[in-house]
Amino acid sequence: MVEGGCHIIFIETIFDTLNARAAIYAYQEFFEEVNLKPLPLFLSGTIIDAAGRTLSGQNTEAFYISMSNAKPFCIGFNCALGATQMVPFLQRLAQISQTYVHAYPNAGLPNAMGGYDETPENFGANMRQFAVDGLVNMVGGCCGTSPAYIESLAKAVKGVPRRVLPEKNLKI
């Protein structure tokens, strides 16, 4: 990927931090081995239910703490939940993260047929609220989002200021 010209390394849909730590180790070892400046690292966790835990049982704060020593350029959440259900966990992450925060949720929760019922307009409005509330620096879409969702998202957040990074002395 590096030889091919990628600009970031993105470890995503993290539901188990032990697996993520292995990927982070490989990332660090690679850049040390080839003696290159590491590319920016993005880490994206997946909250699987309304209790706000990853599949391996970590809450938002535990996820952040277990990933923070990798010094990611950006950390956030993707998949599993729609934007509405992601709000409380993204709020908590934005409060404690000393780095950039992203969110790219599904187009709502999967329905009984495996589809997604949230409309592109509703998705865009929910994502705009993330930006207006100062929770995110970057946004996107995951499962069930199509070009229409991303177009709605882009229009919804256009011109909204990005999240301001907190003071470095914040206590967790």
Alpha-helical (H) ranges within the chain are 17-33, 60-68, 83-96, 120-132, 147-157
Q: Which two tokens stand for residue 27?
A: 């990332």
Whether the Cβ atoms of residue 129 and residue 92 lie closer than 8 Å to each other:
no
The residue among 83, 89, 94 whose CA lies nearest residue 121 is 83
Q: Is the pLDDT of residue 171 over 60?
A: no
Structure confidence at residue 51 as a pLDDT band (50, 70, 90): confident
pLDDT at 95: 94
pTM of structure: 0.91
Structure confidence at residue 110 as a pLDDT band (50, 70, 90): confident
Delineate the domains of the chain, giving CATH numbers in brackets. Answer: 9-157 (3.20.20.330)
Whether the Cβ atoms of residue 73 and residue 101 lie closer than 8 Å to each other:
no
Q: Which two tokens stand for residue 163?
A: 């999240």
Per residue in 116-147, pLDDT tens? 999 999 999 999 999 999 999 999 999 999 99
Contacts of 84 (CB under 8 A, 6+ apart): 108, 126
The residue among 23, 106, 14 whose CA lies nearest residue 64 is 14
The residue among 61, 62, 116, 112 whose CA lies nearest residue 85 is 116
Phi, psi of 13 (to 5 degrees): 55, 45
pLDDT at 49: 85
